[in-house]
Amino acid sequence: IHCVTAGSRMTYQQPLNNIVRGTVMALAGVLGGVQSLGVSGYDEALSIPSEHAHQMSVRIQQILQEETNVTAVTDPLGGSWYVEALTAELVEKAWGFFEEIQAQGGFLASLDSGWLHEKAAENQHREFMAQETGEQVIVGVTAHTDDASPYEVDGFMGVDDAFDVALERLEEGRRTRHEAGAADALRQLERVCRSSDNIMPAMMDALEAEVTLGEIGDVWRDVFGDWATPIQT
Q: Output the tens digit of pLDDT for each of the chain's 233 residues.
A: 999 999 999 998 889 999 999 999 999 999 988 999 999 999 999 888 888 999 999 999 999 999 998 988 888 888 899 999 999 999 999 999 999 999 999 999 999 899 999 999 999 999 999 999 989 999 988 988 876 555 667 666 666 788 889 899 999 999 999 999 999 999 999 999 999 999 999 999 999 999 999 999 999 999 999 877 776 55
Residues 121 and 220 in one domain: no
User: Does a structural domain hold residue 230?
Assistant: no
CA atoms of 68 and 220, how far apart (whole Å): 48
User: Does a structural domain hold residue 206?
Assistant: yes
Residues 96 and 196 in one domain: no
Residues 90 and 200 in one domain: no
User: Does a structural domain hold residue 231?
Assistant: no
Residues 95 and 142 in one domain: no
**Contact indicator for 3, 38 with CB cutoff of 8 Å:** yes
Residues 45 and 143 in one domain: yes
Residues 49 and 119 in one domain: yes
* pLDDT in the model for residue 76: 86
CA atoms of 139 and 33, how far apart (whole Å): 28
User: Does a structural domain hold residue 40?
Assistant: yes
Q: Which of 158, 184, 216 is the endpoint of a domain?
A: 158
User: Does a structural domain hold residue 35?
Assistant: yes
Gyration radius of the chain over CA positions: 24
**Contact indicator for 39, 6 with CB cutoff of 8 Å:** no
* pLDDT in the model for residue 91: 97
Q: Among 8, 25, 18, 6, which residue's Cα sits nearest to residue 140? A: 18
CA atoms of 12 and 210, how far apart (whole Å): 40
User: Does a structural domain hold residue 13?
Assistant: yes
User: Does a structural domain hold residue 233?
Assistant: no
Provide the CB-side half-sphere exposure for 40 (13 A, CA): 25
Q: Which domain holds residue 92?
A: 81-113
* pLDDT in the model for residue 97: 96
* pLDDT in the model for residue 47: 85
Residues 171 and 92 in one domain: no
User: Does a structural domain hold residue 119?
Assistant: yes
Secondary structure, 3-state, the chain: CEEECCHHHCCCCCCCHHHHHHHHHHHHHHHHCCCEEECCCCCCCCCCCCHHHHHHHHHHHHHHHHHCCHHHCCCCCCCCHHHHHHHHHHHHHHHHHHHHHHHCCCHHHHHHHCHHHHHHHHHHHHHHHHHHCCCCCCECCCECCCCCCCCCCCCCCCCCCHHHHHHHHHHHHHHHCCHHHHHHHHHHHHHHHCCCCCCHHHHHHHHHCCCCHHHHHHHHHHHHCCCCCCCCC
Residues 121 and 32 in one domain: yes
CA atoms of 160 and 63, how far apart (whole Å): 34
CA atoms of 40 and 10, how far apart (whole Å): 8
Residues 170 and 104 in one domain: no
Residues 109 and 60 in one domain: no
Rounded to 10 degrees, what is the CA torsion of 63, 64, 70, 74?
Answer: -120
Residues 126 and 48 in one domain: yes
Residues 109 and 211 in one domain: no
Look at the chain and report how many structural domains it folds into: 3
